[in-house]
Structure 1
Amino acid sequence: MGEDSVDRGSVALFGARLGGSAVGFASTVYFARELGASGLGVYFTFETVVVLVAVLVRFGVDSAVVQRLASAADDAERARHLTGAFALVAVPLTLVAAAVLLFADAFSSLVGLAVAPLVVAVIAVETGQWLLLSALRGERRLATSAGLELGGELARVGASVWFVVGGAGPIGLVYGLLIGHAVRVLAALLLLDTGFAIPTRETFHSLLSFSTYTAGMNVSHLAYSWLDTLVLALFVSKSAVGTYEAAWRVSLVVAMASSAVGASLSPTVSAWASSDAYGRIETAVTESLSLGLVLVVPAVVGAAVLGGPFMAIAYGFGGGALLAVLVAGQLAQSVKDVVQSTLLGLDRPRAVFVTNAVGLGANLVLTVGLALAYGPLGAAVGTALTAGVAAALQWHALSALIDLRVDWHGLAVQTGAALVMGVVVFAGSRVVVPDSPASLLALVALGGVTYAACLGVHPPTRARVVGLARPDGES
């Protein structure tokens, strides 16, 4: 498996996530208009609670599954690791379920709905979903896992729309979330090559030795992704949650390239490291950094120019400055996606744990403090700063292991193309005022064409994009 396989696996996952995000965005626009910012905030609060509690159940085992299956010697070893992973999460899942049901009133008060049994159900199905998708990635079947991600999102949105049309309100979105996860679990069980086998003591030790550190990584990631929302839900309002999460999910779209690159890079780096192919790892990291930022750089410029009109037209409420800050924060997060995945592939979970622990501390101070002081915009600034701290720490950790090189020329081309795009779009907005969906889409399309045309004059970038389009089977 070479660098082009990393690219192709990344593209498969990115394409699926882009499609899923497009569907998710369209549904969020619909739900925002049907339920309002407050109704949307109720669902986002439920999802925040589920995701934060679910990390206690998985404690990094899903990340361990990717690495251990990718480096396993044979099918039997893979089967033992997958079975061991399910066994490891069974006890914390039981304890968490009991705690949620015991404190059902508190959960219902936080969310705004009587949802404790649904919290337990969604956590259980989500845990199985991520273990099985991680197993597919450990088999280096990125395209398959990507397809399941997209299929589950389509099922979630379809079910949610059906319930909302039927008058279910915010609880309909919860039912849709449960159905989407269940679809992924059933499909993954049918498609997974790895079977199940009785794990050994060594199996559990292998998984725990890795997950003990990656649990800290997951806690830090979830705090980065969800702590701000939880603080807003507790101390501000459900309306603030709805506005913030709507902007946040748009910002995540621009970082999908780096996220997909990272998901593809980790198992591949693991395989290369086992054969001492460190030169290939260094080359792949350099190219992955450029690929991971290819959408983020223009998105920062685009959000600065069109963020306000976009939020007003798409959702019917403000948040342009909020969106611009959140998108800018994805620059650092994109670098972190690539660097962290490389560290995990090199079997350095301790370095990931330490850097994320420091990042978690920064997150608690910056995000919570700024959110309490300045509301959603303060939360966004704190989140962006936290990503920068974590990315810098992990870059330092990885530089001690391999020769890190940045393609400064390629990044300069991307930045220049984005600035040209920004000027063209700003000038266009003076002629075509972005006050309707049609005019906004026209300006976005103008920006996309301009950026692509500018990148096209750079031969290495053009050659790489053409190379990604060549069929080469599943990665």
Structure 2
Amino acid sequence: MRIGQTSIVVFLSKLTSSALGFLGTIYFARVLGAEVLGLYALVIALVGWLKLGGSMGVGTAVTKRVSEGDEQGAYVAAGVLSTLAIGGLVSVLLLLGRGYLADYVGEFDAYVAVSVVWFVLALLAIKLFYKLVLAVLEGERKVHLAGLLAPVRIGVATLVQIGLVIAGFSLAGLLVGYGVGGVLIGVLGLLYVSTSLERPRKRHFRSLYEYAKYAWLGGLKSRSFNDVDILVLGAFVPTALVGVYAVAWSIAKFLDLFGTAVSDTLFPEISRATADGEDATASQLVEDSLAYGGLIVVPGLVGGLLVGDRLLAIYGPEFVQGTAVLGLLLVATLLYGYQKQLLTALNAVDRPDLAFRINLAFITVNAVLNVVLVWQIGWRGAAIATALSAGIGLVLAYAALTDVLAFRTPIREIGRQWVSAGLMGGGVWLVLELVETAEVGNLVAVPAVVAFGAGLYFTTLLGISGQFRRTVQRNLPLLSSR
């Protein structure tokens, strides 16, 4: 399997899905406003956290055990039964605490007649279903197929959401559309799963547990990075500001798509290499992940600082107040992206215990800083807290991985990306000056400037980085066939 080509397939799939979601969010922001988007973000964040409690790391454990190639059917069956049991328990607890949930999402009743608890329960079940299916596909080393399902989910969800919003269903339409997309890719994913279920034994459940008891905190860490600030803001600031913050977050996370594709692709490969005793191969894969983990985020950070206000203005005038937050979240995304590559490697070399400790430290710092800084300085404190905790997690992850696996940090390659991004920034600044003079509208100016900046960045990087040129030549079919 060509890892580079697989990463590109996964990245393009994520890029397509995020582009569809990006366009949909612009439409919803203009039609529904920041408050409805804020409520939607809160509900989806809650579902994400409950999904984590409803799986307890089982999905990650299934991917790991299935990727090892032994008794795959028994491990998948054990994963299904474990998810049903834990998810059922979480659902019961959610029903018992439905009054507290309704109070937290207080404005929900103003837009939807049905209680928020029923939406959360339905979306939780759907998410547990399709996430487990994708976990099995990734364990079968069909990462590219799992990645290709992402744009299907987002595309279908966005189309259904737009149709329902046009029909007047507002917030309920957004939530129903999200659920429809999840059901569809879960069903489609099952068609590509080749593992047949086998009767699991006690040792299969124990093996999943031994890995999941550490790995689940990795999912908690991801949720902490993505959503803890949203949940904290929901308790401290008006819902409209939560909506503005969520839009800024969506832009920042859009830039981490390639880094996520790299980590998703390399996890089963590093896992297989270490299982076969090929430590040198595993080390090289880690070096590649660090070399290309920030390939998109580095220029995205530079460009975002230059055009962030214009980009947010596309969503509507009320979203421009999130410009400073966007800059901070871009920094957080870059730091977290490198941290994610290192933690993926730790889990893949079967050291989830170390990843567990790092994730626990990250989650604790992130949660405490979010509460303290939002309380003290307002909603921008959430972005500061997220960036600081990402930096601390990166340092801890790097120290841990260097103790268990020998690898070199590709400082020169990362430096070339920064040089290319700096030159791109100069070019973008000059173009923005021309745009200001010509008084071009944001809907035309922003895409044009972004396209120009991307072209300049990659052209420069191709010119100064022999490693990047060779990587492109190996993984682009038209070039590799020559």
TM-score w.r.t. the length of structure 2 is 0.94
Name 2:22's counterpart in structure 1: 25
1:96-245 alignment runs, 5 A limit: 96-111=90-105, 112-113=108-109, 114-245=115-246
**Contact 2:4 / 2:471 at 8 angstroms: preserved in 1?**
no
What displacement does 1:92 show? 2.0
In structure 2, distance between residues paired with 1:257 and 1:140: 18
Residue in structure 2 matching 1:398, options 397, 401, 410: 401
**Contact 1:309 / 1:435 at 8 angstroms: preserved in 2?**
no
1:302-341 alignment runs, 5 A limit: 302-316=303-317, 317-318=319-320, 319-341=322-344
Name 2:460's counterpart in structure 1: 454
The runs of at least 4 consecutive aligned structure 1 residues that moved more than 3 Å come to none
2:89 is equivalent to residue 95 of structure 1 = yes
1:79-90 alignment runs, 5 A limit: 79-90=73-84
Unaligned runs of 5+ in 1: none
What displacement does 1:372 show? 2.1
What displacement does 1:199 show? 0.6
Name 2:112's counterpart in structure 1: none
In structure 2, distance between residues paired with 1:81 and 1:123: 22
What displacement does 1:315 show? 3.9
In structure 1, distance between residues paired with 2:271 and 2:43: 36
Residue in structure 1 matching 2:4, options 3, 7, 29: 7
1:24-103 alignment runs, 5 A limit: 24-73=21-70, 77-103=71-97
Deviations 1:73-105 (A, max 9, x none): 2xxx11111110111122221122122222223
Deviations 1:187-222 (A, max 9, x none): 111111112121101100110000000112221221
Name 2:13's counterpart in structure 1: 16
SS in 2 for 1:140: coil
Name 2:475's counterpart in structure 1: 468
What displacement does 1:325 show? 0.9
In structure 2, distance between residues paired with 1:152 and 1:324: 29
In structure 1, distance between residues paired with 2:474 and 2:242: 42
Residue 79 of structure 1 aligns to which amino acid in structure 2? G
In structure 1, distance between residues paired with 2:373 and 2:475: 42
1:313-392 alignment runs, 5 A limit: 313-316=314-317, 317-318=319-320, 319-392=322-395
In structure 2, distance between residues paired with 1:348 and 1:157: 39
In structure 1, distance between residues paired with 2:426 and 2:295: 18
Aligned residues: 467
In structure 1, distance between residues paired with 2:407 and 2:246: 34
| Residues 7 and 315 of structure 1: CA distance in aligned 2, closer, same or farther (over 3 Å) | farther
Name 1:420's counterpart in structure 2: 423
In structure 2, distance between residues paired with 1:403 and 1:249: 35
| Residues 467 and 457 of structure 1: CA distance in aligned 2, closer, same or farther (over 3 Å) | same
In structure 2, distance between residues paired with 1:346 and 1:382: 30
What displacement does 1:277 show? 0.9
**Contact 1:70 / 1:267 at 8 angstroms: preserved in 2?**
yes
Residue 245 of structure 1 aligns to which amino acid in structure 2? A
In structure 1, distance between residues paired with 2:138 and 2:102: 36
SS in 2 for 1:400: helix
| Residues 461 and 383 of structure 1: CA distance in aligned 2, closer, same or farther (over 3 Å) | same
1:432-443 alignment runs, 5 A limit: 432-433=435-436, 435-443=441-449
Residue 94 of structure 1 aligns to which amino acid in structure 2? G
In structure 2, distance between residues paired with 1:368 and 1:332: 21
TM-score w.r.t. the length of structure 1 is 0.95
